[in-house]
Amino acid sequence: MSEWTSDEAKVGCKAKKDAWSCGENLYMRLLCNDGSHDQMKPLIQLKSIFSKQLPKMPPAYIVRLVFDRNHQSVALFKGPVGKGKVIGGICFRPCKEQDFAEIAFCAVTASEQVKGFGTLIMNHLKACIQKQKIGWFLTYADNYAIGYFAKQGFTKDLTVAKKRWEGYIKDYDGGTMMQCEIHPQIDYTNTKEMIKAQREHIFDKMRSHLKSEVVFDGVVGGPKLTDPYDIPGVHASGWTKEIVEELASKRQAMISLQEQLHSILKDLLNTKFVWPYTKPVDVERYPEYKKIIKDPIDLRMIKQRILAGNFYTSKEIFRKDIQRMCDNCRTFNPTPGNAYYKTAGQVLDFVMPRINAI
Ligand code: COA
């Protein structure tokens, strides 16, 4: 096959006959069964990889498609050009009239997986399909392959009109149909460089809008300042009186909430029924406690949370902690007449109205 011609050099692959170098000791070829030894030999190697890596596919079916003359395969070779061994590939069927290509099999030999070769092959296949002026990929992916295809830009949300592919594509039980659009202008064999260039462009644009490097004159001399926002640069940095006042009032509200919660806690600690809750349950004495109570809490922990100043951002969070503490007590001591059980009700009766009053 010679679908790829010498101008491939500009997309990062150096053409040598119909082989494209993709790094040290790696090259790619587009194959199709034309009966020649040159095509058949690597296709046999690729067929063996598909059979091994796709054990659920009947071997005879793999043979039929790989050697079918309507199917083509992009194969990745390891070794010197012309002498390498196939280490992975993708078999596909272009359906030019319907503007899509169907991916039949895709695999990388076990010892070479998760090294980026699956992506490399897919990118070259995309470039190849783009060259054939086909707009879409379609494939049936099984559950294991969905993640890989998703990383290659495939999606389960189909936008290709059904009439375009229905009856033209092989249906697999349990497979999920996925699609990928091939953009005519994306250089798929050079995506790393392209993304790098895009990032640099965005950062350049951001830099041109940033004012962080602007140095303002100081405030020595001149008219007396009455407002700190008149200091050159303060306003330009985005600070306004409203923002500062809002932050200050939020901070004040938080301080006030913590003070009120602390006051409730202090009053609770002075009651007669608080004794089971002042410190964590002794799990050495009650080893089964950890199994029964998955989320323990006690007043010592609640006090630390209040003192942290930023844990109880609302009274509802405090309410839930108190409720959980009492629920834990009743779960561990489920008999209503039990002394521990009784204290849970007393704590709730004491604390809840006070929380409501905040
Ligand atoms: N599920 C989820 N993610 C997967 C994945 C899977 N089965 N296989 C690979 N990925 C991820 C990789 O972690 C990597 O992610 P990253 O870019 O964030 O690091 C990305 O896909 C590409 O990995 P890459 O190293 O380029 O792929 P690969 O060389 O391992 O080849 C397969 C991927 C699927 C071809 C290969 O694992 C394989 O041959 N599997 C068995 C056959 C198979 O299931 N084929 C697909 C159906 S036809």
> What pLDDT was estimated at residue 212?
77
The model's pTM: 0.62
184 Cα–ligand 1 center, Å: 25
303 Cα–ligand 1 center, Å: 50
CA distance 319 to 312: 10
149 Cα–ligand 1 center, Å: 8
CA distance 172 to 54: 14
Verify whether ligand 1 is closer than 6 Å to residue 144 (CB atom): yes
Residue nearest to atom 29 of ligand 1 (CA): 118
Q: Which of 105, 148, 149, 195 to mutate to test the pocket of ligand 1 (most atoms within 8 A of CB)?
A: 148
Beta bridge partner(s), residue 103:
92, 139
121 Cα–ligand 1 center, Å: 11
Verify whether ligand 1 is closer than 6 Å to residue 192 (CB atom): no
Q: Give pLDDT tens digits for 51-89.
A: 999 998 999 999 999 999 999 999 999 999 889 999 999
DSSP 8-state assignment for residue 155: B
Active-site residue (options: 3, 8, 97, 102): 102
Q: Give pLDDT tens digits for 119-175.
A: 999 999 999 999 999 999 999 998 889 999 999 999 999 999 888 898 898 877 778
Using the Cα atoms of residue 3, residue 6, residue 7 and residue 13 in order, give the sign of their dihedral. positive
Residue given tokens 């063996």 in the structure block: 48
316 is an active site residue: no
**Max mean pLDDT range (134-148, 199-213, 264-278):** 264-278
Residue given tokens 């992916």 in the structure block: 141
Verify whether ligand 1 is closer than 6 Å to residue 357 (CB atom): no
Which of residues 337 and 325 earns the better pLDDT score?
A: 325
> What pLDDT was estimated at residue 15?
40
Of 301, 278, 291, the residue nearest 331 (C-alpha): 291
Decide if 129 contacts 182 (C-beta within 8 A): yes
Gyration radius of the chain's alpha carbons: 34
The answer to whether residue 6 scores a pLDDT higher than 90 is no
Beta bridge partner(s), residue 101:
94, 137
CA distance 87 to 72: 16
Q: Which of 91, 137, 151, 176 to mutate to test the pocket of ligand 1 (most atoms within 8 A of CB)?
A: 151
The answer to whether residue 2 scores a pLDDT higher than 50 is no
Residue given tokens 């009651």 in the structure block: 271
**pLDDT (mean) for 84-108:** 96
> What pLDDT was estimated at residue 134?
95
> What pLDDT was estimated at residue 301?
96
17 pLDDT band (50/70/90 cuts)? low
The answer to whether residue 203 scores a pLDDT higher than 80 is yes
126: number of CA atoms within 13 Å, CB side?
A: 24
Decide if 330 contacts 260 (C-beta within 8 A): no
